Amino acid sequence: MKKNFEKKERMITFGMKKRGFGPAFFISLCLFPLMVFLGRAVLYMGAGLFLVVSGASLLALQRRESLSLRPRHFFGVLAGLVLFFLSLGSAFLSAFAEAGEWTLFGWSGRVLTLFLFYLYAVFFGVLMVSGWYAAFPPRVEADCILILGCALSGRNLTPILKKRTDRALFWYRRQIRQGKKAPLLIPSGGRGPDEPISEAAAIRSYLIQKGVPAEHIRIEDRSRNTKENMEFSFSIAKKQLHHSVCIFATTNYHLFRSTLWARRAGMSGLGIGAPTKWYYWPSAFVREFIGILYVTWPIHGAAAAVLILLSFL
């Protein structure tokens, strides 16, 4: 048993070392000089393309889901507009430097242009690695599966939360079919201000309806965000299982940021992503990207310092 556990730990730890911000940052460093070489046209094309894709996703979301659009649905369009006007602003300010007038405006234009190139490079790096995480789930035997909660519809699961739970349920059943030990399921999520019950309790009820024995479920109903999801749930896992290999289930566009918080919580597990229709991605991924920048801010702070130095060259 001890050898089997150590083998699982080596497998999962090796995967976690690869599933952090490192691969995305490496890709970003490779893309950055290419974008600088291609010039400012990349900024306009990127902003324009993002506006088109985000606008198309809004139309598809409204027509196919019959949803009333909320402010969060416009994040993609707003991000495209901000990038477009920042690109124009950098061109305007850089004109001072190109005219030979080394002023504060000209220097600011050079810094802003370099920062936008860096931001684009990081965005594409994160997008590529997020796709990799979603396409290649971990191949390990899990001792527990964390199910990350999100908003409810009354006492019922929303379609997105149902897909997350079904993804965890599929993994749970597959492991049992393979003759392995049934993993502990940990629904995670507190009660929002407009929710009658906690997200964890709603997920638990759904799992029991699907035939999961109650003794295979432990709820975590205090968390308010992804960081707390990981910290509080992993604490339960350690108390219940002592030496546990945990994975977590969430929506595919949420995998990358969840992995970063899982690493910070000390987990050695990987994530499995529930599929999402393409028109949810633009706005949702912008929110995720902002969250990823927040989690990894020391790296970007150091990068900003380097860009300021480069602007003097």
Reported confidence tier of residue 244, pLDDT bands at 50, 70, 90: confident
Tell me what percent of the residues of the chain surpass a pLDDT of 90: 56
Is the model more confident about 225 or about 266? 225
Indicate if the pLDDT at residue 194 is higher than 90: no
Indicate if the pLDDT at residue 259 is higher than 50: yes
The pLDDT assigned to 102 comes to 56
The pLDDT assigned to 231 comes to 94
- The side-by-side arrangement of strands in the sheet containing 144-148 is 184-188, 144-148, 246-251, 271-274
Read off the DSSP letter of residue 71: G
Domain 141-244 sits in which CATH superfamily?
HUPs (3.40.50.620)
| Two tokens, residue 158 | 């929303």
Q: What is the pLDDT of residues 90-105, one digit of tens each?
A: 888 877 666 555 577 7
Query: Are 199 and 152 within 8 A, CB to CB?
Result: yes
| Two tokens, residue 31 | 């893309």
Q: What is the pLDDT of residues 118-154, one digit of tens each?
A: 999 999 999 999 999 888 888 888 999 999 999 898 8
The pLDDT assigned to 269 comes to 59
The pLDDT assigned to 34 comes to 93
Q: Which residues contact 159 (CB under 8 A, 6 or more apart)?
A: none
Q: Which of 143, 191, 141, 171 is nearest to 274 (CA)?
A: 171
The pLDDT assigned to 33 comes to 93
Tokens 């999520």, residue located: 189
Q: What is the pLDDT of residues 2-20, one digit of tens each?
A: 344 334 434 443 444 447 7
- Range 200-226 average pLDDT: 95
- Range 30-58 average pLDDT: 91
Read off the DSSP letter of residue 185: E
DSSP code string of 126-157: HHHHHHHHHHS---S--SEEEEE---EETTEE
Reported confidence tier of residue 223, pLDDT bands at 50, 70, 90: very high
Indicate if the pLDDT at residue 74 is higher than 50: yes
Indicate if the pLDDT at residue 27 is higher than 90: yes
Indicate if the pLDDT at residue 199 is higher than 90: yes
Maximum separation of any 2 CA atoms in the chain, in Å: 74
| Two tokens, residue 3 | 């050898």
pTM here is 0.86
Domain boundaries along the sequence of the chain:
22-135+295-310, 141-244
The pLDDT assigned to 61 comes to 85
The pLDDT assigned to 97 comes to 62
Length of the chain: 313
